[in-house]
Amino acid sequence: MRRRAQSVLALASLLLGGLAAAPAAQARPGPAAPPAGADALTAWTAQVTTEQVPLLLEAGVDGRELGERPAAGRPARVEVQLTGAQAEGLRAKGVDLVEKRLPQRTRERLKAAGDGVFRPYGGKNGLSQEIADTGRAHPRLTKVVSIGKTVRGQDILAVKVSKDARTTRDGARPAVLYMSNQHAREWITPEMTRRLLHHYLDRYGKDERITRIVDRTELWFVLSANPDGYDYTFQSPATRLWRKNLRDNDGDGKIAPGDGVDLNRNFPYKWGYDNEGSSPRPASETYRGPAPASEPETRALDAFQKQHDFTYAVNYHSAAELLLYGVGWQVATPTPDDVLYKALAGTPGNSAIPGYRPQLSSELYTTNGEADGHAANVNGTMMFTPEMSTCETASAVDPADRWDPSDCPSIFTFPDDEKLIQGEFAKNVPFALAVAETAGHPDRPSSPVGVDAPDFTPHAFATSYARGKDQTVAVTARKSLGDKRLNYRVDGGRTHSAPLAAWGGGDRYGGDDNLRFDQYRATVEGARPGSTVSVWFTGRTREGGRTASRPFTYKVAEQPRADTLVIADEGGGTPARQADDYVRALAADGREAVVWDVARQGAPPALGVLSHFDTAVWYSGTASPDGATLLAVRDFVNEGGKLVAAGVRAGGSSRVGDADTDDFAQYYLGAGSRTSYAAPSRFTGAGELTGTTAALGTPVAGAYTPVSDLLPPETFPRFRSAAAGEYTPAARTASPQSVTLREEGGGRRLAAAVTTRDTALLGFGLEHVPDARQRAVLIGAALRAIGG
């Protein structure tokens, strides 16, 4: 049963126009600003390396706000918001932080230069009063409601804009939500939503497009999803960079940097999936709260979404200059609805909002418990997150004006300049209107940049290892199509056809983010080695017309039968040199193997090749594992495959798209952190590999802290992992070269191998084991340890 999102009797006066005084009357007095000299949040800058980014995330920095991500050998300049104590802790770990301090004269000049545009939520002339005034000024087009209370008792107000808003039943028209200010310091975002509200109202009856949208659509505006925190940022310079709500975490009656909950990490979907996308520590800027939906602000938005069944939503944030959509909890995870998201958001070279880069939410960093994922997968609402411009970008728009990028106290302090604020708003309007227009036909986007959302997007591949067995093929297709079918020809023969079925997903992902599009699968039967197969997909539109995909062609490889795939990923473009070591070792253990050489063949297709094996051995020599191969192997493990990964740099970072990430190493291979171990002489198995031993001949090997040493398995059972061997002589933990998942961890013995339920990770390759018999025993034990 739906919970009541509004108390009708209590809010009757609000809806009838008596709203203006209500919020201030019901709210508790705001907390005092920290006393002079208190350790407040301030802005700091640093040039950081790939290895230092995890230290920032541990300190509670939101990865999305870092903007640029460093690459191997290329540091990036970042701004972070920290207390003095947090900054000193990072400095002690080698991060060269510099506090952004403006001279008093500059601060006074900037304050005097401001136009007075930004204002608090509560109090006289605040945003809540403007909302009430707007409702009274437009009685036919608006309805004002409170969707719930903040932690300090303020009403969170929402405005409905639609023709005959008060007399037309909520939900009678397709609904769109525009919301902002989940994070208190992002002042430009409520100004964006406020101006958009007036843009619709002021142009109704004058602008044909606006009038049509308002007549046919139910538009809702939540100017501040965090009124308490927003008001707090106006109290003094010491509170200006506050991010969270005003939950008094320690109950001492004061608000300090250890208080508050990040409202964009508090939603139930994927809440607490790991400690990188959100934090369990109250002092962190991404503190997720003590429980899912622990905060009244979160519960209010969740109930509001459930009541109104929004088709689309836009959740304004700042200041990363991105246009985010899709999966946030796991790196580089495309989903079916991305077809729609991309059509509306555009591409990096053709963005729907000039200056903002459209991309998957997790392209650079992960989040969990955020509003977007919950909206889509719990409440059926496709949500975008525009990250608006930085202070520096806005200050550079007009070199002749009074704003200079060097004067910016922080990326979040957007200039208090009417012209610049209006310009930032104006470039967002076409996207906002396109989203509203799409609500009436939600799977047929009104793209503002001319990007199509095709009925079918085949998951094409060029090579199949089916060898006369069935070959699964997949396509992303519009759910509303009827009679969706696979069609194929083998060697130019007659056309075969089979119905498509929706894929339910794998062990960890798939089956989500599929509101309007989904992944469908069927099987090609009977193609023999050497055959060429042409594949295409067909269906019927709502209007009854036929639609078809472009065809793709694959060839069934003429390979010997094998039960294990060896993925040779030695780096560079030269053919694999060590693959025979693996094939012979597997043969000595009674297994038949075939080699896939990444240098010659590219990444192995997950469906075309990997799906025909129960086990795979992926070795990378001394190179970083290939990013495209990593994604294919992740798909393989997600659908039940068993994997042995081996190599000096296996279990560390890989370049996936624009990011260096060890997400797969941590959460699939069980390597919480990786460091280099110099010249080990011997490997001795432990845990699942007890009884194995091997002399080694390598100048360096990989050593690991298992994830379960860092994330307790009773809390994170999905990531359960264990040490499975050590080197001689044994080492103690050094500075890890990738993410350490919690602050503790010094002094642990490093593991030379790690096992999980599905994977075994070796910090060296079989080519580093001179004895052929030891190679065979080791690889066989590793496969048996994971049921391979």
The CATH number given to whatever domain includes residue 777 is 3.40.50.880
pLDDT at 38: 62
CA distances from 719 to 508, 671, 741 (A): 11, 10, 12
Domain assignment present for residue 107? The answer is no
Residues 428 and 345 in one domain: yes
Q: Nearest to residue 463, comparing CAs of 596, 613, 277, 658?
A: 596
Find the helix or strand (DSSP H, E) in which 159 lies. Answer: strand 155-161
pLDDT at 24: 39
Task: Tell me which residue range forms the domain holding 599.
Answer: 564-785
Domain assignment present for residue 362? The answer is yes
Contact criterion met (CB below 8 Å) for 541 and 478: no
Q: What is the mean pLDDT of each run of 10 residues along the chain (788 residues)?
A: 37 41 48 67 89 85 78 82 90 91 84 90 96 97 98 98 97 97 98 98 98 98 98 95 97 94 98 96 96 98 97 97 96 97 97 97 91 98 98 95 92 96 98 98 97 97 94 98 98 97 97 97 94 98 96 94 96 92 97 97 98 97 96 98 98 89 95 94 97 96 96 95 89 42 51 98 97 97 96
Helices and strands (DSSP H and E) totals, the chain: 19, 36
Give yes or no: 387 in active site. yes
- The rounded Cα 491 to chain-centroid distance in angstroms is 42
Domain assignment present for residue 516? The answer is yes
The region, left, alpha or beta by phi > 0 then psi within -120 to 50, assigned to residue 747 is: left
The CATH number given to whatever domain includes residue 520 is 2.60.40.10
| Environment class of 722 (CB within 10 Å of its CB; exposed 0-12, middle 13-18, buried 19+) | buried
Q: What is the CA radius of gyration of the chain?
A: 28
Domain assignment present for residue 102? The answer is no
Residues 551 and 570 in one domain: no
Residues 392 and 467 in one domain: no
Residues 462 and 395 in one domain: no
Residues 316 and 373 in one domain: yes
Residues 306 and 404 in one domain: yes
Domain assignment present for residue 94? The answer is no
Domain assignment present for residue 51? The answer is no
Contact criterion met (CB below 8 Å) for 484 and 537: yes
Residues 583 and 672 in one domain: yes
Q: Which two tokens stand for residue 224?
A: 């501040």
Residues 638 and 772 in one domain: yes
- The rounded Cα 294 to chain-centroid distance in angstroms is 22
Q: Which of 387, 437, 570, 726 is catalytic?
A: 387
pTM summary value: 0.93
Q: What is the DSSP letter of 579?
A: H
β-pair type (552-556, 463-464): parallel
Residues 551 and 568 in one domain: no
pLDDT at 58: 84
Question: Per the structure, how many domains does the chain have?
Answer: 3
Of 511, 537, 556, at which residue does a domain stop? Answer: 556
Domain assignment present for residue 462? The answer is yes
Of 521, 540, 556, at which residue does a domain stop? Answer: 556
The CATH number given to whatever domain includes residue 185 is 3.40.630.10
Of 392, 411, 438, at which residue does a domain stop? Answer: 438
pLDDT at 33: 64
pLDDT at 37: 56
Domain assignment present for residue 106? The answer is no
Residues 489 and 432 in one domain: no
Residues 267 and 399 in one domain: yes
Residues 626 and 695 in one domain: yes
Q: Which amino acid is at 640?
A: G
CA distances from 690 to 71, 585, 687, 782 (A): 38, 19, 5, 10
